[in-house]
Amino acid sequence: MKISIAIPDSSLIEEPSQVGKALKISQIARACSIFQVNTIYLYHEADGNDRDRSLLRTTLRFLETPQYLRRKMYQKIDDLRFAGSLSPLKIPSHTQTADPKKIKQGDIRDGIVVFARGQKYVDVGLEQFIPYHGQEQEGKRIIVQFKEGFPNFSIKQIQRDEVKQYWGYEVKEASSLTSVLSAWDSFILLTSRKGKSIHKTQKYFQEISDSKVLIVFGSPKRGVYEILGKSLVNVSKSQILNFFPDQATETVRLEEAILGTLAILNVLSRN
């Protein structure tokens, strides 16, 4: 199952401080990384605002970026004031050696295109830049695979879907939840306490276990029923599911809902 999620730009509305907002984003990023989420869609919702949307977008992307590229890709901006104290993801793209002598043929790394001495190179976090002959412009983040390792480094650019192991999530923005759903061409799971209990849907999860799946979460103040209204009935290939039947708390916070839902799906899709 290839999972993507959709969350609203109002996700942080109930957090009173920026440090609280940052910690919530960190928990979301960690949950998505643990369970190999491919894309996080940020959709605009009525209670959302530009400030929180920017904080969500920037912090999620920052946390997914390997540490050796962060200084070049992110300047000192207010959105990242507390980012240094957040939990690292430690996904495969982050746990790369800094020792150039350990680089061998076939290794894969993230890099950023740089321009120096009249030509383009890729900075992959080693002591030297690697010559680059591709079409990307300076400042573009790319994935490269080594055709030759130490000491005669040679690389080729590859796409994310060519990497066999999990290589992080992408963050994309949308004007509305409806626009995300209308562009999605596979199965959709709408999360709601008003939905069908997951205990009654085991066969369904077996049927979609090899498919792309989008999991949709509502906002702290409005669930998917309220956000979508009458258009809910027009969402194709969708199921409305309650992943927390008989919950004892009045609400399930977004970061809890994401972690819990992904954990449950991880089990159900493998049974």
How far apart are alpha carbons 81 and 79 in whole angstroms? 6
SS (H, E, C) 222-234: CCHHHHHHHHHHH
The pLDDT tens digits for 167-208 are 999 999 999 999 999 999 999 999 999 999 988 777 888 888
Q: What's the pLDDT score for residue 271?
A: 62
Q: What's the pLDDT score for residue 25?
A: 97
105 HSE (CA, 13 A, CB side): 3
Q: Where are the alpha helices (DSSP H) in the chain?
A: 18-34, 50-64, 67-73, 177-183, 202-207, 224-228, 254-268
Distances (CA, A) of 13 to 32, 55, 148, 200: 20, 12, 49, 33
Distances (CA, A) of 102 to 40, 98, 125, 160: 33, 8, 13, 23
Residue type, 52: D
Q: What's the pLDDT score for residue 58?
A: 95
Q: List, in order, residues 6 or more apart from 197 with CB less than 8 Å away.
A: 241, 242, 245
Give the chain's radius of gyration (CA, Å): 20
Cβ atoms of 253 and 31 closer than 8 Å: no
In the chain the first and final C-alpha atoms are separated, in Å, by 12
The pLDDT tens digits for 35-70 are 999 999 999 999 889 999 999 999 999 999 999 999
Domains of the chain in sequence order: 2-89+171-268 (3.40.1280.10), 100-160 (2.40.50)
Q: Which residues of the chain have pLDDT under 70?
A: 271
